[in-house]
Structure 1
Amino acid sequence: MQRRQIIQTAVGVASAAFFTPMVMAKPKPQVEVWKDAGCGCCKDWIKHLEAEGFQVKAHDGGNAEARTRLRMPEKMGSCHTALVGGYAIEGHVPAKEIHRLLKERPKAIGLAVPGMPIGSPGMDGSIYEARKDAYDVLLVLEDGKTRSYQSYPSKPSIKS
């Protein structure tokens, strides 16, 4: 009787394994980016996003039009504009903050890092000698007002 139970158990486990659906990997969040074709820092920011689990579709051009269409205030402008999960992303926003935004889902237009602060993702190449300027990632609210979403401190450059 014991042998029969072992065989039935083995058949049951094998059947369950065969008929259990495969666990699908969670899809990567899709980011659509509008940028200047020759902009190196935009390309570096895209590489940063891809390394942090995003799938990126880039368009060479249309940055200003995308910013207007996505309701991002002009004063937040930078060298690239993106759309992810219904949110506008303007400038060199770290992937960490985009992941946080998608998790928290606040009522907002999106995130912005105005200008091009040295040390932000895409503006952190060796040419800057590890220098990092202080900057804030801003949460852009529905009415266009902003509040600090995350602050990044400065770090002096390393001179050889």
Structure 2
Amino acid sequence: MANPGGQSAIAAELTVFRSPTCGCCSLWIDHMKEAGFTVRDEVTEDMTAIKQEYGLPQNLASCHTTIANGYVIEGHIPAADVQRLLTEKPDIAGIAVPGMPIGSPGMESGNYVEPYTVFSFTDTGETAAFAEHS
């Protein structure tokens, strides 16, 4: 089990694909850097092609797509959930937060947090709850 409050032994580099006009994506990148991740920022005009290339189910799409250690990490996922994914190494294709929930990392708005679910997904499109946030 990872130590969510302490330093992580994970030295993963995140490759983040984002649109040049997306401000919330930059805020999420800042969140991940603050959590100790190294981030490679890849700006692209064709996010649809990136999502298709990495097999992201359309119903799980958000604004940015990240690749780390072979996993797809879609949207405004908290750093602790990414650390858990990379520590536990489950047999899934990735995790995703569909849309852009208010209060998720990069989408902060005061103290309000819209309840949201981080979903895991497989190569065949099966989904399950990975984490709940509110």
Letter in 1 for 2:63: C
Q: Distance in 1 between matches of 2:11 and 2:50?
A: 22
Aligned-pair CA distance for 1:110: 0.2
The answer as to 2:45 corresponding to 1:55 is no
| Contact 2:67-2:73 within 8 A present in 1 as well | yes
Q: Distance in 1 between matches of 2:10 and 2:116?
A: 31
Q: Which has the higher mean CA deviation after the structures are superposed, 60-69 or 88-97?
A: 60-69
The answer as to 2:122 corresponding to 1:141 is yes
Aligned-pair CA distance for 1:60: 1.2
Corresponding residue for 2:12?
29
Aligned-pair CA distance for 1:86: 0.4
Q: Which has the higher mean CA deviation after the structures are superposed, 63-72 or 75-84?
A: 63-72
The answer as to 2:86 corresponding to 1:102 is yes
**Greater Rg by CA:** 1
Q: SS of the counterpart of 2:73?
A: strand
Corresponding residue for 2:68?
84
Q: TM-score, normalised by structure 1?
A: 0.75
Q: Deviations over 1:7-47 (max 9, x none)?
A: xxxxxxxxxxxxxxxxxxx6731000111112110000000
After superposition, the CA RMSD in angstroms is 1.2
Gaps of 5+ in 1: 1-25, 154-160
Q: Distance in 2 between matches of 1:108 and 1:65?
A: 21
Gaps of 5+ in 2: 1-8
Q: Distance in 2 between matches of 1:102 and 1:112?
A: 14
| Contact 1:107-1:142 within 8 A present in 2 as well | no
Q: What is the identity percentage for the equivalent residue pairs of Structure 1 and Structure 2?
A: 37
Aligned-pair CA distance for 1:66: 1.7
| Contact 1:79-1:91 within 8 A present in 2 as well | yes
Aligned-pair CA distance for 1:63: 2.2
Q: Distance in 2 between matches of 1:98 and 1:143?
A: 21
Q: Deviations over 1:109-156 (max 9, x none)?
A: 1000000000000001xxx22211000000112321110001012xxx
Instruction: Give the 4+ runs in structure 1 shifted more than 2 A.
Output: none
Corresponding residue for 1:64?
48
Considering Cα pairs closer than 8 Å and 6+ residues apart, tell me whether 1 or 2 has the greater RCO.
Answer: 2
Q: TM-score, normalised by structure 2?
A: 0.89
Q: Distance in 2 between matches of 1:27 and 1:57?
A: 16
Q: Distance in 2 between matches of 1:100 and 1:27?
A: 10
